[in-house]
Structure formats: structure tokens, C-alpha cells
Amino acid sequence: MMEHVPNEHGRFGDFGGKFVPETLMLPLEEIETELDKALADESFRQEYIRILQHYSGRPTPLTFAPNLTRQLGGAKIYLKREDLNHTGAHKINNAIGQALLAKRMGKKKLIAETGAGQHGVAAATVAAHFGMECIVFMGEEDMKRQELNVFRMKLLGAEVVPVLSGNRTLKDATNEAIRYWVAHCDDHFYMIGSVVGPHPYPKMVREFQRVIGDEAKEQFLAGEGTLPDVIVACVGGGSNAIGMFYPFLQDDVRLVGVEAAGKGIDTPHHAATIAKGTKGVIHGAMTYLLQDEYGQIIEPYSISAGLDYPGVGPEHAYLASIGRVRYESVTDEEAVAAFQLLAQTEGIIPAIESAHAVAKAVELARQMTPDETVLICLSGRGDKDVQMMMHHLGVKEGEDVASAR
């Protein structure tokens, strides 16, 4: 039997908690108090749902993938279409929820960190929608990888601050966002982009993402008359995965989280936190992280900016530790192949993050029977990755041509 998590100390078993400078304890307490009130307030819920429907286009469809299913000859594959959300990913669900909470708390300035730029775009979007200011911290390396999203954020009126510390990716952007928050917590609201960070963030983001799983469950039951056998989602910080998994935790459904294996989990170049990490504290939470023997955080690597993070949400660490969710990993190359496969079989270009889930689902479906089902959380669409992919595949084709001569 699973415990009810998190407990009043923000713990998911051993994981979670609030490991932050004293300055942030009051802001966290204020958010916690207001969040609990908001979640119990029916009018808050209704407004959240109304904006999801009328602004973001929810509910997102559940799509059967007939061609992919036929080609694999195994389990039937279904996609939960978070890619069809406004702004192109699940991140908007959370951004809308947190913006409503910020509004309720009288805060008109948002701080966000971003990796792939999807959360940054979502934050910039809701800021425009609610008439708020928005400052987004983004690693300089990610700004290069996701140039298009940087411009989108600026178009939406946000200020994008390049982060030059560390590897200049998501971890460093998160550090800088937290530092900025420490200095401006009196009038700013920190809108975190995943189920990471100190309590109550992992719980809050889960509550604003569980709409994915709640809808999927209802849609699957309506269409199939039963629950899926397996559900697969990619895990960076873990927000789309928790959002999808949470409503199924008590059900007899196999849950598989997919981390980024980069160039391979036996190389130093990966972001497979649960597979290869150890217990420690990052960004205010006790969880698994990539670190050396002296507790210095190791820079992760993935082709996917959204999965390139050395920690993981504490609830995932907990679900891994009790064995409720299995965590696997997928390399850059496998994800790139799945990216192309889904595009060509179904006419759906997935985000490179989501392609990690597709790759694992393809592998699992092949080993299953046609009366079984696999549900993939397609967390986002791949428009943001097209340029990077062009580069990635272009170079390879050039090599092929050369070697053929």
C-alpha cells in the first residue's frame, strides 16, 4: 500500500523536503498555504479548467496509432496528444495553474527557468494572457539549441536572461532563477517548470499536470473499455510523466518512465538520473542526482534540452525506490530514430523529449501481443526541434554520401 505523499513536511518517503536558504522559507510557506486553499476552492478549479479548455484547447485527444501498430506487429499504440496544447507541450497546463495562483496571491511578476524553452514559452504566454511581467532564465547553450523558442519568448514580451555558469543548460538556469527569486521574493512569483524544487513545488506541479492522466484514463476507458497495459512517458524533471502516471498509481497498469541516455549510460554523457544517480540534494529537494563522490553535481548530457537535467522530481525518486514505476533510458540515436519513425508512420512530429518515450514504447510494444495496449504520453510537438534535427541528420547524410564513393 502506498503512503499518501507528500506528507506535511513535503516528503515523499525519504525524498523531497525544503533544502533552501532561510530567505525562501517564508515565500514557500505562503505558496503552500495559498495552494492548499486554492486546490480546495471549487471556483479556482473551475477557472483553471475553463482556461485549459478555452485557451489551451483541452481536452487533448487520445489518438490510436494504426500504422505504427501495424508496422510493429505487437501491442496497440495510443498517443496522449499533449503536443496539441497551445504552445505545443504539456508545460502550459502547469503554467496556467501557477499563474492563477500567482494572481490569487497578488503577484504580477513571474520568474521562470527553461531548458528546451517550452516552459519558458508557456510562462511567457500566460504572462501575456494574464497581463503579468515575465523574466526567463535560460542557459546560453540551450539558447543556441533552441533559438526559435528564445525568439518566441521575446515575441511574447518576456525578458530572456542568458545564463553563463556551469554547462549553461537547465541546471544552471534553475540555479540562476532561484538566486533571482531570493533577491526578489517580495514581489515575484517563481513559476517552476517541472515537479522539482523544494516543497510545495513538486506537489503543486503534479496537481497542475494530473489533468493529463485524468483525461487519458477517462478517454481510454471510454474507447477501449479497459485501462492500458503499459504507459510510457519521458522524464526530465518528470512533470509530464507524473501528470500522466499519478491517476493510474493505484491501478494494475505498468508504468515506465524514460530517461535520456545521451551517448549511453555507460559513458559519462547522459542524463539518466535514476539509473545512474545517487541520493542527495539538488535545487532544494532530496532526490537522486548525478554527482561525484564528494557531492559536486555532475553536468548531464542529452541531445534533448528538456531532459538534460542532473536531478529528477522527488516523487519519481520515491516511486522508483518502492518499485511502483520502472525507469528505463533511451539514447540520442534511439530517440532520433523514433522521432523519424513517428513522423513517417503517423504524420506526427514529436518533440525530441517525447521521442524518447516513443522509442521505449516501440521496443516494449514489439514484445507484446495485439490484444495488449501501450499508451504514450506525447508530451510535446517537434517544431522546436526541426532545425536541430536538420543539422543532425544533414551531417550524417553528408557522411554517408562521402563514404559511398
Ligand X SMILES: Cc1ncc(COP(=O)(O)O)c(C=O)c1O
**Residues catalogued as catalytic:** 91, 113, 379
**Does residue 111 bind ligand X (CB under 6 A)?**
no
**Does residue 25 bind other proteins (CB under 8 A)?**
yes
**Does residue 20 bind other proteins (CB under 8 A)?**
yes
Q: Which option in other proteins, ligand X, none does residue 17 bind, with CB closer than 5 to 8 A by kind? A: other proteins
Residues in contact with 281: Cβ distance below 8 Å, sequence separation at least 6, in sequence order? 19, 287, 289
Residues of this chain, 210-239, that bind ligand X according to CB under 6 A: 234-239
Name which of 288 and 368 has its Cβ closer to ligand X.
288
Q: Applying CB under 6 A, which part among 116-124, 142-150, 330-338, 394-402 lies near ligand X?
A: 116-124
Query: Distance between CA atoms of 354 and 258, rounded to whole angstroms?
Result: 9
Cβ of residue 211: shortest distance to ligand X, in angstroms? 14
Cβ of residue 393: shortest distance to ligand X, in angstroms? 20
Among 1, 40, 183, 401, binds other proteins (CB under 8 A): 183
**Does residue 279 bind other proteins (CB under 8 A)?**
yes
Among 131, 266, 294, 404, binds other proteins (CB under 8 A): 294
**Does residue 353 bind ligand X (CB under 6 A)?**
yes
Cβ of residue 351: shortest distance to ligand X, in angstroms? 4
Q: HEC profile for the chain? A: CCCCCCCCCCEECCEECCCCCHHHHHHHHHHHHHHHHHHCCHHHHHHHHHHHHHHHCCCCCEEECHHHHHHHCCCEEEEEEHHHCHHHECHHHHHHHHHHHHHHCCCCEEEEEECCCHHHHHHHHHHHHHCCEEEEEEEHHHHHHCHHHHHHHHHCCCEEEEECCCCCCHHHHHHHHHHHHHHHCCCEEECCCCCCCCCCHHHHHHHHHCHHHHHHHHHHHHHHCCCCCEEEEECCCCHHHHHHHHHHCCCCCEEEEEEEEECCCCCCCCECHHHHCEEEEECCEEEEECECCCCCECCCCCCCHHHCCCECCHHHHHHHHCCCEEEEEEEHHHHHHHHHHHHHHHCCCECHHHHHHHHHHHHHHHCCCCCCEEEEEECEECHHHHHHHHHHHHHHHHHHHHHHC
**Does residue 89 bind ligand X (CB under 6 A)?**
yes
Q: Which option in other proteins, ligand X, none does residue 379 bind, with CB closer than 5 to 8 A by kind? A: ligand X
**Does residue 170 bind other proteins (CB under 8 A)?**
no
**Does residue 285 bind other proteins (CB under 8 A)?**
no
Among 72, 99, 100, 282, binds other proteins (CB under 8 A): 282
Among 351, 364, 365, 376, binds ligand X (CB under 6 A): 351
Q: Which option in ligand X, other proteins, none does residue 402 bind, with CB closer than 5 to 8 A by kind? A: none
Residues of this chain, 376-405, that bind other proteins according to CB under 8 A: none
Residues of this chain, 178-197, that bind ligand X according to CB under 6 A: 194
What number of CA atoms fall less than 13 Å from residue 143's CA on the CB side?
Answer: 19
Name which of 214 and 372 has its Cβ closer to ligand X.
214
Applying CB under 8 A, the residues found at the interface with other proteins are 9, 17-27, 165-166, 171, 175, 178-179, 182-186, 278-284, 291, 293-297
Report the interface residues with ligand X, using CB under 6 A.
89, 115-116, 118-119, 194, 234-241, 306-307, 351, 353-354, 379-380
